[in-house]
Amino acid sequence: AQKITQTQPGMFVQEKEAVTLDCTYDTSDQSYGLFWYKQPSSGEMIFLIYQGSYDEQNATEGRYSLNFQKARKSANLVISASQLGDSAMYFCAMREGRSAGNKLTFGGGTRVLVKP
Amino acid sequence: DAMVIQNPRYQVTQFGKPVTLSCSQTLNHNVMYWYQQKSSQAPKLLFHYYDKDFNNEADTPDNFQSRRPNTSFCFLDIRSPGLGDAAMYLCATSSLYQETQYFGPGTRLLVL
């Protein structure tokens, strides 16, 4: 079974509008971390935002916010006021356990294209 | 600025000819990772080093090896590249106290 599911393979968004990227996860661990990365066409994976399983408040980083619903096992990324430079592939990822070196499991990604 | 550096950005090799990709970091992180990412797919972890301890993923082919001579550098060796090994190879680092993994720009490998 997939541990990280991103159900939207691609989406268009109008410049200056907000967009929500869906991510659901599956784990039996009590301690885990959820991450969102952006990958432009250049290929670099750019860290956007992190949510720990014990964090009670939703994470925010500038125009990025993470809508964490633990009971539903979802960790959706919200990008506010989309910009043309936000066009990229977005990956949701999960780290299980608490040891250094725990690997990330990535979802299949969502490609976002921002229209002017 | 502290960062993760990968060289070269693009590498062309011949079928069966050994190739080495390099990664260096100025973050002084304990952990270094190598991921393989094929076109339109998610990154897949090949192995990682926690300090000098090497951790191989169970499904990583023997054709892939790694070396970490010191904290700053880590190398990915592909002993006999096949056409199926053409991919983006991403290096990442993380520290013991901050679990976020920071990625380098990647090396795109083409096998002819």
Predicted confidence (pLDDT) per residue in A44-90, tens digit: 999 999 999 999 899 999 999 999 999 999 999 999 999 999 999 99
pLDDT at residue A14 is higher than 80? yes
Predicted confidence (pLDDT) per residue in B83-112, tens digit: 999 999 999 999 877 778 999 999 999 999
pLDDT at residue B1 is higher than 80? no
Half-sphere exposure of A50 (CA within 13 A, CB side): 13
Q: State chain A's mean pLDDT as an integer.
A: 93
Q: What is the pLDDT of residue B3?
A: 93
Residues of B in contact with A101 (CB under 8 A): 31, 48, 50, 55, 94
Within 8 A by CB and 6+ apart from A71, the residues are none
Please name the member of B31, B41, B100 whose beta carbon is closest to the beta carbon of A101: B31
Q: What is the pLDDT of residue A57?
A: 93
Q: Is B30 on the interface with A (CB under 8 A)?
A: yes
Residue spans of beta strands (DSSP E) within B1-112: 4-7, 10-13, 19-25, 31-37, 44-50, 53-56, 64-67, 73-78, 87-94, 102-103, 107-111
Confidence of residue A103 (pLDDT cuts 50, 70, 90): confident
Distance between CA atoms of residues A111 and B16, nearest Å = 34
Residue range B63-92: average pLDDT?
Answer: 96
Distance from CA of B17 to the nearest CA of A (A): 25
Does B55 sit within 8 Å of A44, measured CB to CB?
A: no
pLDDT at residue A98 is higher than 80? no
Predicted confidence (pLDDT) per residue in B24-64, tens digit: 999 999 999 999 999 989 999 999 999 999 999 989 999 99
